A and B are shown apart, each in its own frame.
Chain A
Amino acid sequence: MEKQWRSIDEYKNGGQLDEEKKVEKKHKNAVLDVLDSKVVDAPASRRDFLKLFGFSVATAAVVSSCEKPVQKAIPYLIKPEEVTPGKASYYASTFFDGTEYGSVLVKVRDGRPIKIEGNHQSPVSRGGTSARIQASVLNLYDDARYKEPTIRGKEVGWEELDNVVWDRLANGGHTVILTSTVISPSTREVFRKFMQSHPNSEWIQYDEVSASGIREAHRAVFGAPVIPGYHFDRARYILSFDADFLGTWIAPVEFTRDYAATREVTSQHPHMSKHIQVESALSMTGSNADERIPVTPLESDLMLAAIYNSLAGATGYPPVSAPPCVTEVEALVAGLMHHRGRSIVVSGSNDPGVQKMVAGINYMLDNYGSTLDLERTIQLKQGDDRKFAALISALDSGGVDNLVMAHVNPVYSLGGFESMKKAGFTVYIGTALNETAEACQLVCPDHHFLEAWGDAEPVKGSYSLQQPCIHPLFNSRSFQDSMLVWAGQHRGYSDLVKFWWENNIAPADEKGNKDWWVRTLQAGYYVKESGVNPSTEKYTPPEVVLHPAQSDLTLTLYSTVAINDGRYANNPWLQELPDPVSKVCWDNYLAVSPADAATMGLEDEMVVRLKGVELPVLIQPGQAKGTVSLALGYGRTKAGKVGENLGVNAFAWVPFLEGMRSYTISQVRLETTSLTYPIARTQTQHTMEGRPIVRETSLEEFTADPYAGNHFHLESEAQNQTLYPETKFDGYHWGLMVDQNKCTGCNNCVVACIAENNVAVVGKEEVKKRRIMHWIRIDRYYSENPENPKVFQQPVMCQHCDNAPCENVCPVSATMHSNEGLNQVAYVRCIGTKYCINNCPYRVRRFNWFRFVKNDKFDFNQNSDLSRLVLNPDVTVRERGVVEKCSFCVQRIQEKKMEAKLENRELTDGEIQPACVQSCPAGALVFGNMNDPGAKVSKLMKEERNYHLLEQLHTLPSVGYLTKVRNAKPGPESDSHQAQDENHG
């Protein structure tokens, strides 16, 4: 860390920027050259040119005559001591993109961050990450990043830009700084300093997808605008109203961990939480619910009111005034009452009224203090819609002279931001191309979070540090540094962070102890044990008035697991990530309930007109009748080569209701058209055809018989016969367990796998042709009633069968079995007969239909010299015409084995973690050595719930699945088709 620290430091010494640039370039090239000599054909700096010129004419001739580009690696002259070529080093850091927090380990290989891993020591995210966090490393190498500071599109140096800003700020106009949520205490300090030097300025936080309803509610009910800490792990009864808390709501990673903890059942411990989801669109969270009640948003509000009132009646609080709801809520009330203090009620609505009722319900159930926490409150989503609304009117009235915006995109997320032009002077601070920046006069490139210092306080009292893992690739400057420079400060931000931590966070006995700082930096997090006190006053029951629901079509807008609020539009990994429920990628679409589709005569891929915008329709089982839903975050117009003009921008329709942004719009009308629009789906068959693929049982049945729903396993075990003796694996025999009770289908593993294994992005057309390259996919099945189906999520990767059908049929021995039970592919040997693809009953093998690297037909991350820096050098980039598939991350296995060997010790269980396992927020995946009876994986393999996919084929997979257990009354259909499966063989 010494090094990063120093260079940044130099970088900060304001005056000598030219000097600085040289240093930077030198370092950068050094870094790039070591492994990725693409710099040779990358836009070359003067130094590069000279460097290349150094090579003799003869070499040049060779280069020009040779077909393959000659790759030159220039080694370090003086090697930084923390960099060992070929050996990865991990740095604890912090991910926060304005909406989502994660404590992460950054895998740095030869100076390049190439992978984000979860930090298992963090008390907040506890080793989990989300698909977005996994993919964020690719944004570091995004071609659309701003590389130089610009004034009206013209590249300028920093000092020139700073002078312009200083002049402007000097004449003391009203300055507004508009940022996304800031959870960094040191950054607050920066703002304080800025405010000091520019008194006539204010700071407003703004969230594209706002949760200010919750804060508003708590202000009204408890006198403090907070988002309480949610502890799903302590809840035995979870009631969620339109809150996708496992996918996108507030802190999904954290919540997934807690939630998964309550879903762990064994025959010894047959207990689990009960999760009821009341929602209009079928969300990923809803797909995991034990019971799901599809209703319109207005109906769900009325249900809340009804529940509130019956609880109020029981506890003697004044009721709220609302018309009665249609749905029966007695059962829910009973459940809540029965689990007083062990239940939790959440709502995704941004309507303060609704959130007040939620708060009230939780209060009346004594959940505050147990499942809800008013001390260690969540610091995310600090955006205040009312303030923002006020800003807009202030702008319109010309009350704002200077507008500085950082990491927000109102031009997109308001569907146009005309008022902005009223401000005479607009500055944008951000990393990559976006609509707002393009509309601003000054653009200040900010570091990517992997290049910058920083800290965070995601939850009151628990802090984490962010440290740079690579020297800035471009002439960018951290947001905080810009603010400091403009505030006339000379001390740099990196300096400030350390100072601030040592003075404000370090415990008394550690004050001024450099060692403490280094330790904390290594750990990446710090938890304040004491000194966190509730900022709340006594409870005041809310007064809410609800109006009767209109009975017509309601549009609900939601943010997706992949694209979130649109900030990841230019990230091909996320664009190609299938939606956990609909399995659609590269587009957003209008989800319509089967019943409505029938009445309106709609079919998949038909185009309808909604508010004058044309949208493709997708019939979504489980969508509440009378509602349609549409994903936010699409329809970006300025995002970069990948993300532009995909889908429609739904933000344009998000209205302000009483100063709060509302994501449900009632009384919408659909006009059908004769057009159709193709949608790319990675799965087109949605039922299991009554086959024993995802096995399921109810908690009752499971407690009665641990083998419930899984008798077929015993049968096929009994019937297994073999002509040849089964292979014995002495030494290691790798295996993977998938707990389908914990897996929520969040797709984190998919992106982790893409990043780890250099999986190619193929684009919408190829996805439509069913040629997606993902090595691990999450199958999603529906069963029973299409209006409210049971949903099953099942991750499927190579099963590494010990009797692998694919191996027998390869004529050239390109795929065969290792003596550790791995089914391996030798890419160099493969001639691409595709026979193995046909003969894999799980269809997990992928064929390279085209050359996906350096091919302009596939202009994604692998077609850009910059983006290819993210490639993992431990994994071959596959050539056109070869077959590839999941390898259990064999490179990680070998690495750890080597380590253990060098340290002359046994491998410990859980030491080896494939990419998918490492960062699974639910801890649903367990990898290990099946030959070691003590290993977690072997224990799970012995569980009654364990079974293998298609085990009747006697392929002897090394992957095991644990039967899904639902804490719900067994539906008649579900069991009948289970039974019928078992009759078959």
Chain B
Amino acid sequence: MEAQYIMGVFDEEQSMLSAFRRMKEEEVEIEDVFMPYPVHEVLENHGKKSKITIVGWFYGLFATLGVLAFLVYTAVIDWPLNYGGKPSNAFPSFLVVTIILTIFSITILSLFTFSWRANLWPSNQKPIFHERATDDKFVILVKKDKVDVLKASSLMKETGASEIIEK
């Protein structure tokens, strides 16, 4: 079938970065970049920031309230008991449980969120553009119908792409 993508394969982080900068300047729209390790400049200058941290914070907030409510309901309202002369609402004891359960819920929920948003889950198979992108190559991917193909490829060549593959 007819290829839709062009990818520039770089051996060096530096060359990939310079290509990345140039393309940003010349407004060549980059589809995606595949890196063996996170290169923060790329992460920060392409696409929106991830909101997962903010989401996580809210998870925490709701967990705290939820857990406290549950404890108070079960221990004070639903079935109050006298343990060693303590009032059924022994608040200091509740705090410990609340803290830990909050942490617990944050973890679980943000794990699910991550796997949903980053669309990663066990046995999930996504098209792999370049085998060595997880090893030692940096790959910049552009969509043919979105950019001027020649411009893009020449750009990447200049900045030292080891090869240009159409896919």
Contact = CB atoms under 8 A, between A and B. Distances in A.
Contact, chains A and B (beta carbon distance below 8 A): yes
Contact of A804 (B81, B85, B87): B85
A807 B83 contact: yes
Interface in B74-119: 81-87, 90
B122 to A, nearest CB: 34
Contacts of B86: 724, 808
Interface of B: 81-87, 90
Interface residues of A, number: 19
A727 B82 CA distance: 9
Contacts of A18: none
Nearest to A809: B84
Interface core residue of B81, B83, B90 (most chain A CB under 10 Å): B83
A816 interface: yes
B163 to A, nearest CB: 63
B85 A727 contact: yes
B84 A805 contact: yes
Contacts of B83: 807-808, 810, 813, 816-817
B6 to A, nearest CB: 62
B82 to A, nearest CB: 4
Contacts of B81: 813, 816-817
B85 A956 contact: yes
Given A817-B81, A817-B84, A817-B85, 14 more contacts: A724-B86, A724-B90, A725-B87, A726-B85, A727-B85, A803-B84, A804-B84, A806-B84, A807-B82, A807-B84, A813-B81, A816-B82, A817-B82, A819-B82
Interface of A: 724-727, 801-808, 810, 813, 816-819, 956
Interface core residue of A726, A801, A817, A818 (most chain B CB under 10 Å): A817
Contacts of A801: 84
B4 to A, nearest CB: 60
Contacts of A816: 81-83
A672 to B, nearest CB: 53
Interface core residue of B82, B83, B84, B87 (most chain A CB under 10 Å): B84
Contacts of B84: 801, 803-808, 817
A724 B82 CA distance: 12
14 contacts: A724-B85, A724-B87, A725-B87, A726-B85, A801-B84, A802-B85, A803-B85, A804-B85, A808-B83, A810-B83, A813-B81, A816-B82, A816-B83, A817-B83
A726 B90 CA distance: 14
A955 to B, nearest CB: 9
B138 to A, nearest CB: 54
Nearest to B87: A724
Contacts of A817: 81-85
Nearest to A805: B84
A773 B86 CA distance: 29
B78 to A, nearest CB: 12
A164 B132 CA distance: 109
Contacts of B82: 727, 807, 816-819
Contacts of A727: 82, 85
A956 B85 CA distance: 9
Contacts of B85: 724, 726-727, 802-804, 817, 956
Contacts of A818: 82
A805 B86 CA distance: 11
A817 B88 CA distance: 11
Nearest to A821: B82
Contacts of A808: 83-84, 86
A810 B90 CA distance: 15
Contacts of A819: 82
Contacts of A813: 81, 83
